[in-house]
Structure 1
Amino acid sequence: MEAWLIDSFLSYLRFELGCSENTARSYASDLAKWAAFCSQNDISPVPPTQDGVVRFLRSLAEDGISRASIQRAAAAIRSFMRYLVAEGLADGGERLPPLPAKGKILPQILSEGEIERILASCDGKRDIDIRDRAIMECAYGCGLRASEVCGLELSSLDWGNEAIRVRGKGNKERLVPFLGSVRRSVERYLKESRPHLDKGRCEKLFLSRSGKPLSREDLWRIVRRRGKMAGISSSRLHPHVLRHSFATHLLRRGLDLRTLQELLGHSTIATTERYTHFDLELRDVYDNCHPRA
């Protein structure tokens, strides 16, 4: 998105609508996030479209952004659209979604069968097949955020304690069980695939074809590609879909909310409680619950 367009919009907010400086700055931040999201997902940011805005707001929810912040982002985009129409830069025919009500933006998940299909799409002997299987197993089997998957290092693997040390939001560290098919897939990756990808002693666990640390954009492309191979609509895929599926499947199998909070690295139980909208029954213990354990 052109910088002059945002500057012009901010002037419109300040001088024509009389918005406060704080509101203008907040809207500028929201539009910057919108522009970045559009760039990453091959969406045209101007003018905003209903489908694009819905996907953007859902991605904010999936990143754990508060409802109030999501509502503000929606308001910012609607104000931006009104500005574009007023300036003759959009025709006003596009109907944007209404401002989200509290509790209405919820994470999408995949079924256990769809997860199995995505994992099966990684079956193969190529280096990237073995790598992608390990990535998918870690993202789903450990419930990791996209940034956490990309941030894993060789030293993150605590083999003796069968755990992965994960550096999450706020630089907080947590231990996540490293068991079953998750461990086996990573062991295979380290033995058969990673040595061929590593071009220069990189400490990051997951590497791109060129031997560089895996980026969030790389991870997103992998998720989309494997999802397409598994016959899953791209509209249901996002970088955090495996994490959200992990949480929901564990709740369905009876894991208590407090344990799930620790596994996900949520600072408050309220964030974890959003997964209970799937009308789940609760029971006990991680390694008896998780389908990949």
Structure 2
Amino acid sequence: MIPAPADEFELTAERFGDYIKLERACSENTKRAYLSDLSIWTAWCRRNSRDPLDVQADAVSRFLLEAQIEGRKKSSVQRLGAVLRSFAKFLQYDGQTDKVPRLAPLPSREEKLPEILNENEIQRIINACEDGTALGKRDRAYIELAYGAGMRASELCGLRLRDLDPGSGILYARGKGDKERAVPYMGAPRRAVEEYIAEYRPQLDKNKAEWLFLSRNGKQLHRETLWVILHKRGAAAGVPAKRLHPHVLRHTFATVLIRNGMDQRTLQELLGHSSIMTTEKYTHLDLSLRDYYDQYHPRAK
């Protein structure tokens, strides 16, 4: 098939991005990830004189096989295949094809337990933030909250002052798909956040910003900045960089609670997972979320 003009494909890809975000209620970050993976398919099609809008089973199989030969991880190949399945369904939804092709089964996903930090490493990272500066107090509040409440980096960046209710020890986070959930934060995390807000955040707040975590210029932090902070403080604490991946504090939070007896359904609600299958990776009566958190998390005391 003659490849579609580049501008035609770009318009289709743009509509696909809107479909992912609006019709499937995914976040802007997920939309960007889908389009990034789709661009890998597009480049492969151009190299092989194929139309990227013609998502056929034989072409997809060759594409995924070559991706494996190139050394991509199974999880990466599996994700590429999943994106193409979604793209093929979108092309039918968009009226560009009559039926969705029967694609070959995706390669099995590697079963990999999330890496976590131990309590000593966490404490060393927190101690490394204590440099007497407003940025140090900000970093401590972020790390205490990420570990003590299990929040995603994007959720932490999106926190506004009005999202916190210190009296009840509850904050309101917006997760994937812009879904809001209540998250307990008590004990050490609440003390760190309150100290930062009362004594140090005003030093960073240049323009009466609404965001909880601010840059040195008083602007909203981006999640990439949080990863930089974790690596910086982790290096100062002597924690190997390979152990400081973006979700390590969230994974550690979840694993600590499971090891101390929290049930999966409650943890699912705390983490904001839409599926219990996602929560189950942390495991081999009904109290409130706050009571569970207070009972099981070591930094809630």
TM-score normalized by the length of structure 2: 0.67
Return the offset for 1:222.
0.1
Give the Cα–Cα distance (whole angstroms) in 2 for the partners of residues 135 and 160 of structure 1.
Answer: 19
In the alignment, structure 1 residue 168 sits paired with structure 2 residue 162: no
Structure 2 gap segments, 5+ residues each: 1-35, 84-105, 285-290
> Is the alpha carbon distance of 1:103 and 1:285 closer, same or farther for their aligned partners in structure 2, counting shifts above 3 Å?
farther
Give the Cα–Cα distance (whole angstroms) in 1 for the partners of residues 127 and 163 of structure 2.
Answer: 26
Q: Which residue of 1 aligns with 2:111?
A: 104
Matches within 5 A, 1:171-250: 171-250=178-257
Return the offset for 1:21.
6.3
| Aligned positions, number | 231
Secondary structure of the corresponding residue to residue 245 of structure 2: coil
Q: Which residue of 2 aligns with 1:158?
A: 165
Return the offset for 1:287.
1.0
Give the Cα–Cα distance (whole angstroms) in 2 for the partners of residues 145 and 131 of structure 1.
Answer: 17
Return the offset for 1:268.
1.4
Answer yes or no: is the 8 Å Cα contact 2:41–2:52 preserved in 1: no
Percent identity of paired positions between Structure 1 and Structure 2 = 50
Matches within 5 A, 1:4-153: 8-13=43-48, 15=50, 20=55, 57=75, 71-73=78-80, 101-153=108-160
Structure 1 gap segments, 5+ residues each: 31-47, 61-69, 77-98, 278-283
Return the offset for 1:22.
9.1
Across the aligned residues of Structure 1 and Structure 2, the Cα RMSD in angstroms comes to 3.5
> Is the alpha carbon distance of 1:117 and 1:20 closer, same or farther for their aligned partners in structure 2, counting shifts above 3 Å?
same
Return the offset for 1:6.
7.3
Return the offset for 1:235.
1.3
Return the offset for 1:178.
1.7
Return the offset for 1:16.
10
Return the offset for 1:159.
2.0
Give the Cα–Cα distance (whole angstroms) in 2 for the partners of residues 24 and 6 of structure 1.
Answer: 10
Return the offset for 1:286.
2.2
Per-residue CA deviation, residues 13-52 of structure 1 (Å, 9 max, x unaligned), is 5639997269989x99x9xxxxxxxxxxxxxxxxx986xx
Give the Cα–Cα distance (whole angstroms) in 1 for the partners of residues 246 and 110 of structure 2.
Answer: 21
Answer yes or no: is the 8 Å Cα contact 1:14–1:20 preserved in 2: no
> Is the alpha carbon distance of 1:251 and 1:9 closer, same or farther for their aligned partners in structure 2, counting shifts above 3 Å?
same
Answer yes or no: is the 8 Å Cα contact 2:45–2:51 preserved in 1: no
Q: Which amino acid aligns with 1:145?
A: R
Answer yes or no: is the 8 Å Cα contact 1:14–1:21 preserved in 2: no
Secondary structure of the corresponding residue to residue 182 of structure 2: strand
> Is the alpha carbon distance of 1:238 and 1:100 closer, same or farther for their aligned partners in structure 2, counting shifts above 3 Å?
farther
Q: 1:270 aligns with which of 269, 277, 293?
A: 277
Q: Which amino acid aligns with 2:156?
A: V
Per-residue CA deviation, residues 234-254 of structure 1 (Å, 9 max, x unaligned), is 111122110010000111111
Give the Cα–Cα distance (whole angstroms) in 1 for the partners of residues 228 and 215 of structure 2.
Answer: 11
Q: Which residue of 2 aligns with 1:290?
A: 297
Secondary structure of the corresponding residue to residue 174 of structure 1: strand
Answer yes or no: is the 8 Å Cα contact 1:153–1:203 preserved in 2: yes
